[in-house]
Amino acid sequence: MNKYLFILFVFFAASGVTAQNSSGTINANQPSIQRPKLVVGIVVDQMRWDYLYRYYSRYAPDGGFKRLLNNGFSCENTLIPYTPTLTACGHTCIYTGSVPSIHGITGNDWWDYDLKKYSYCTEDENVKTVGSTTTLGQMSPRNLLATTIGDELRLATNFNSKVVGIAIKDRGAILPAGHSANAAYWYDNKTGDWITSSYYLKELPKWVNDINAKKLVDKYYEQDWNLLYPIASYEQSAPAVKGFVHPLKPLIGKNYGVIPATPFGNSFTFDMAMAAVTGEQLGADAVTDMLTVSLSSPDYIGHAYGPNSIEAEDGFLRLDKDLGDFLNFLDTKVGKGQYLLFLSADHGAANVPSFLKEHQIPAGNFDSQTITDEINKLLKEKTKADELVIGILNNQVYLNRTVINDAGLNKDSINKWVMNYLMQQVAVERVVALDALNTTTLNTKVKEMLANGYYPKRSGDIQLIFKPQWIDGFLKGGTTHGGWNPYDAHIPLLFYGWKIQQGASIREVSMADIAGTIASLLHIQMPSGSIGHVIEEIVK
């Protein structure tokens, strides 16, 4: 027996040597896996797909959008596969290839039934701000349950790849970068500086301190926000009632909270992105790095002025120029064809209801706070119990399960009463008990989107589905997003650069397909919660 064991030992030892010789570490002629030097993900916060074409004739020939459309690959029919279509959920879906029911990010905020409190998607009281004395840096990705494509890239390279996330919004920087990112940086609107948290670093790198020392926000304020072109040329926008007046000089050194709601927020973000590429030497060696960039300003502008405003149009015309400059920078710094870039959006936006009404299109606003107060008042008269509804958030009604239980009330009866009350509201098309979704008669696509967005510990009890063109809040103007409708869920998706052939497809694909497609191109594992499919037209 010992003789046979010895023979087996010699056989497997020899096999191991052969495997080692073929691994590439000994045989120098063994070809390596081809990967780009740098992966760049750009998410435009609140960009409907149609913005690619609404302003196409006005985009610069050497700008960003025409370059991506004419030299990259466009997935023209890319849809979000869940509700609510909100910022935190969208950024997370793009980079995890997953949906809220799996990755756990059910909104920008939610009521956490385990913690019995409102929670913000990236809040973390166990970390400290790095880069200022405010509390705006007490953030991390700990609420995120799945890995991101950046996490998988780091794992695939034994953490030799660098992953950096940048955005004005903390959630736009943190959630895309993932758990194992080298750093994520976001904007402190109290100081005008870029900050991070102790989750990533003990202190800011020199290159971040250097860009903060330039006080770029004040320099942008010096320019005021004036239109790029004569106001009469903005034919894709509703006429400005009071002209276009956005002075910024009076804010210098006083108010750093306004720049996100101007196109200069995008310019400022690209300044930081370029500084990160240089400062961290991203794409400078043989190991693939990743940079995630979220452009938050279109969302601030859209919420304030709406999709049909001159402000929105001017914002995208300026973004086009900034994007073109960024591509030029990457061509020079990393090399043409050496980086893989994709551009998408976290969600779209509804048209402003008052604007639609002017053109005979049915629309309106739903006042969730007033409705919540009225429901609680009526339920108290009926049951003697206070605050049976915690609130309406993310188009969902959160019932106070603790109060209902302590008062000895029947939750199903409360559920039914609230649903009947909501169905009497003019804005509401349907209401659905989320724990009974499988037995609900509902359009298949809408039902699937609701199921994909439902994570019981962080989701409400009752789902509101508004009539098309009706939105929650924004009673005095501006707009929002969050529904299943195409104006909220149809987003751009463009791939450009390394190994990408020019073209377009009208085949329906999902936002959740992006991460798996990048993983396939890089020959790495897809993220841990991924449910998407590889977009075959991209990897051919």
Q: Can you give the pLDDT at residue 518?
A: 98
On whether both 259 and 405 belong to a single domain, the answer is no
With a pLDDT cut of 90, the percent of the chain lying above it is 91
Measured CA to CA, the distance from residue 498 to residue 128 in angstroms comes to: 38
- Same domain (yes/no): 286, 399: no
CA of residue 11 relative to chain centroid, distance? 53
- According to DSSP H, which parts of 262-410 are helical? 264-279, 297-305, 310-330, 353-358, 368-383, 401-406
Mean local confidence (pLDDT), 519-537: 98
Range of the domain at 80: 38-338+488-509+518-539
Share of the chain above pLDDT 70, in %: 94
Is 462 in the same domain as 383? yes
User: Are 51 and 492 a contacting pair, CB within 8 Å?
Assistant: yes
CB 498 within 8 A of CB 454: no
Q: Provide the pLDDT for residue 15.
A: 46
Does residue 22 lie in a domain region?
no
Residues 289 and 320 in one domain: yes
- Which range is least confidently modeled, 10-14, 91-95, 410-414? 10-14
Indicate whether 281 belongs to any domain.
yes
Vertex 205: Cα angle to 283 and 181 (nearest 5):
55
Q: Are 271 and 211 in contact (CB under 8 A)?
A: yes
How confident is the model over 341-399, as pLDDT tens digits? 999 999 999 999 999 999 999 999 999 999 999 999 999 999 999 999 999 999 999 99
* CB neighbour list of residue 451: distance below 8 Å, 6 or more residues apart: 101, 437
Alpha-carbon separation of residue 152 from 97, 179, 388, 403, 445 (angstroms): 12, 10, 43, 43, 30
CATH, residue 430: 3.30.1360.150
Q: Which residue has the tokens 């052939």?
A: 501
Choose, from 78, 85, 87, 262, the residue flagged as catalytic. Answer: 87
| CATH number, domain with residue 182 | 3.40.720.10
pLDDT, tens digit, 9 for 90 and up, residues 430-474: 999 999 998 999 999 999 999 999 999 999 999 999 999 999 999
Is 7 inside any structural domain?
no
The answer on 430 and 299 residing in a single domain is no
pLDDT above 90: residue 171: yes
- Specify the pLDDT at position 510: 98
CB atoms inside a 10 Å sphere around CB 403: 17
pLDDT score of 30 more than 80:
no
pLDDT at 18 over 90: no
pLDDT given at position 32: 80
What pLDDT was estimated at residue 27? 45
- Regarding whether 425 and 378 lie in a shared domain, the answer is yes
Q: How confident is the model at residue 19 (pLDDT cuts 50, 70, 90)?
A: very low
- What pTM did the predictor assign? 0.93
| pLDDT at 106 (0 to 100) | 98
**490, two tokens:** 């149809």
With contact defined as beta carbons under 8 Å apart, do 48 and 348 qualify?
yes
The domain total for the chain is: 2
Element (H, E) at 84: none
- Phi and psi at 216, nearest 5°, equal -65, -30
Whether 156 is in a domain gets the answer yes
pLDDT of residue 59: 98
- The answer as to whether 370 is a domain residue is yes
Specify whether 421 is located in the same domain as 492: no
pLDDT at 366: 96
Both 57 and 136 in one domain: the answer is yes
- Return the amino acid letter for 317: L
* Same-domain status, 164 and 51: yes
User: Which residues share a beta bridge with 1?
Assistant: none
* Same domain as 276, residue 406: no
Angstrom distance (rounded) from CA 498 to CA 375: 55
pLDDT tens for 396-436 read: 999 999 999 999 999 999 999 999 999 999 999 999 999 99
Residue range 27-46: mean pLDDT, rounded = 84
Q: Is 256 buried (19+), middle (13-18) or exposed (0-12) by CB count in 10 A?
A: buried
- Annotated active-site residue 87? The verdict is yes
Average pLDDT of span 299-325: 97
Mean confidence (pLDDT) of the chain: 94
Q: Which amino acid is present at 387?
A: E
- Which residues lie across from 196 on neighbouring strands? 130
Q: Is 349 domain-assigned? A: no
Is the pLDDT assigned to residue 1 strictly greater than 50? no
431 domain-assigned: yes
Domain-embedded: residue 481: no
Q: Cβ of 158: how many Cβ atoms within 10 Å?
A: 8
293's tokens: 């960039």
CB neighbours (10 Å) of residue 286? 8
Helical ranges in 360-439 per DSSP H? 368-383, 401-406, 411-422
263 in the same domain as 383: no
Which residues are CB-contacts of 20 (< 8 A; sequence separation ≥ 6)?
26
Query: Quick one: 163 and 252 in the same domain?
Result: yes
Taking a C-beta distance cutoff of 8 angstroms, is the pair 94, 515 a contact? Answer: yes
Nearest Cα neighbor of 330 from 288, 270, 285 is 270
